[in-house]
Amino acid sequence: MIKKRLGTDPFERGQAEKVIDILTKAPAKAEKPKAKGKPGLKRKPGRPITITRTMTKSSQEGLPEGWTRASFIIQETVLEKLKDYAYTDRRQIKEVVTEALENYLKNKKIINRRS
């Protein structure tokens, strides 16, 4: 008789019980690594925050020193022009707005409101 290439039949008598045991055996649950930090809080996905400055306002969260967030109401046509200009120069909108405001305020006499 020719020797079988793959060995014995797994479903022949005696072997079937071993296969059934292997298939029905519940896999052991792997323990999840615990997140570092405060207990009970999940880590947020993504790159960890690297800015470690003290914030005085929540609008400064995640921003470099000397920057803050602000919201302004603006006409839609002006906003579209601003976006188009930033796209034309291949710059970010915040860079274009900063430059425009600095140029506008350059030669103005400004009174400090918190004196």
The C-alpha torsion from 90 through 92 and 95 to 96, rounded to 10°, is 60
Residue 36 is predicted with a pLDDT of: 60
Residue 52 or residue 103, greater confidence: 103
Q: Could you read off the pLDDT of 4-22 as tens digits, one per residue?
A: 666 666 666 666 677 677 7
Q: Could you read off the pLDDT of 32-49 as tens digits, one per residue?
A: 665 565 666 777 788 877
Residue 59 is predicted with a pLDDT of: 82
* pLDDT grade for 95, boundaries at 50, 70 and 90: very high
Q: Could you read off the pLDDT of 42-83 as tens digits, one per residue?
A: 777 888 776 666 777 888 888 888 888 999 999 999 999 999
pTM score of the predicted model: 0.50
Q: Where do the domains of the chain lie, and which CATH numbers do they carry?
A: 69-109 (1.10.1220)
Could you write out the DSSP letters of every residue in 10-65? TTSTTHHHHHHHHHHSPPPPPPPPPPSSSTT-PPPSSSPP---PPPSSGGGTT--T
